[in-house]
Amino acid sequence: MNPLLERVQTSLLDLVGQFIQLLPGLLIGLVIVLLTGYAAKVAQRVVRKMTQRLLPSRSLQLLAVQVTRIGTWALGFIIAAVVAFPDLRLGDIIGLLGLGSVAIGFAFQDIFKNFLAGILLLVEEPFRLGDQVMMCDYEGTVESIKIRSTQLRTYTGEMVEIPNAMVFTNPVRVLTAYRSRRTDLDIGVDYTTPLPLAKQTFLEVIGRADGVLSDPAPEVDVVGFGESSIDFKVRYWTTPQIAEVRRVKSQVSMALKAACDEAGISIPYPIRTLHMFDQTQFSESERLTNGAGSKDASR
């Protein structure tokens, strides 16, 4: 037989023999990986119950559960690798992870950036689950803060996932951070209206409105003289949820209109004054004549 063929045959037999030797370890490693999935679910449930008792913050509870899941999977893969490849030492695994982390870091830098931003968001808690926020041109309710992204449910019932790196590096308006939220409502009255009467009427309406908080107290101010009206700005406070803000604003608007009608306060339409003339009476020759006469008279 050709020596080259004999060498190839010997190499193939060696590879097959090594594979057969490694096969039990590979099967055991596969079983360990499958069991790791089950162990991760069990560990998550245990940690979730423990954190609900020990940690009052839902964000920190979520962080602990997610770290437990990732840690369980990482431990399971390491054990599976050691079992599948007996010659593989812990130092070799650490060295492999060190070399691989550089390449993985360059390839998945955006993922790691979102991962770190997610951890910081969960630890610092600039907003919480259930808060209504404005972030990255979106407004809605925070549904979930994951390791990679933050889920926002808009008021129109749409789900938006925003990468945590964008959330962490951009301004975020937390609309429900405090117990009350102010609404500004503009209204204009006729120039013949007594201003003290209008202000007192508006204050009485706001004071009776359902959902308007007494502390801080409502305010009514004259803010300017418009083209056809004297402009007022009505300021009042409600609970911060958007549904309550919209409901109270609608009720206050209707109550203000009804009170103005009852008190005889007019809310004027925009007024424009037009001067009409017959353009045919002004011909070009007459305008030139009148202009020349004016010049002579001036002399």
Give the integer Cα–Cα distance in Å for 287 and 272.
28
Q: What is the pLDDT of residue 184?
A: 95
Assigned domain for 76 exists: yes
Domain co-membership, 137 together with 197: no
* 3: in domain: no
Q: Does 7 reside within a domain?
A: no
Residues 238 and 197 in one domain: yes
d(CA 230, CA 192) in angstroms, rounded, equals 9
pLDDT at 21: 63
Does residue 113 sit within a domain?
Answer: no
Torsions phi, psi of 75, nearest 5?
A: -65, -40
Question: What pLDDT score was predicted for residue 295?
Answer: 47
Q: What is the pLDDT of residue 112?
A: 77
Confidence (pLDDT) at 59:
65
| The pLDDT value given to residue 211 | 92
Domain count, the chain: 3
Give a yes or no: residue 299 inside a domain.
no
Q: Which single residue is written with the structure tokens 């201003």?
A: 195
Q: Taking the model in full, what pTM does it have?
A: 0.63
- Say how many C-beta atoms besides its own lie within 10 A of residue 164's C-beta: 24
The whole-number mean pLDDT for each consecutive block of 10 residues of the chain, a chain of 299 residues, reads: 62 62 72 83 84 73 77 79 67 56 56 81 85 92 87 93 91 93 93 92 92 92 90 95 94 94 87 67 55 48
Residue 278: inside a domain, yes or no? Answer: no
Identify the domain containing residue 220 by its residue range.
181-263
Q: Is residue 272 part of a domain?
A: no
